[in-house]
């Protein structure tokens, strides 16, 4: 089991991640609103602007203040900082 840091000491299990996307498109905004209504949204932005939406296989949606590129590089094990 591997975890990826998604910012502010929050981590997500990489085995559960289906995709990491930008929150700008209308379909992703609808997914976020639907998950908020069904209580499956996890907001890990700590008050910052949402830069990435992480979709998991267990239907949870995680919001992160890091960009999708940063999260992707952390998942691959590269250091971007």
Per-residue pLDDT of the chain (81 residues; tens, 9 = 90+): 899 999 999 999 999 999 999 999 999 999 999 999 999 999 999 999 999 999 999 999 999 999 999 999 999 986 555
The predicted pLDDT at position 80 comes to 52
Tokens of 20: 């990491």
- This prediction's pTM: 0.92
The predicted pLDDT at position 46 comes to 95
Q: Give the C-alpha separation, 58 to 50, whole Å.
A: 21
């Amino acid at each position: 089991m591997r975890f990826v840091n998604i910012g502010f000491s929050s981590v997500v299990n990489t085995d559960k991640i289906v995709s990491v996307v930008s929150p700008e498109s209308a379909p992703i905004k609808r997914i976020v609103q639907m998950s908020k209504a069904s209580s499956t949204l996890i907001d890990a932005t700590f008050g910052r602007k949402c830069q990435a939406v992480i979709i998991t296989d267990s239907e949870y949606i995680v919001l992160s203040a890091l960009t999708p590129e940063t999260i992707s590089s952390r998942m691959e094990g590269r250091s971007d900082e």
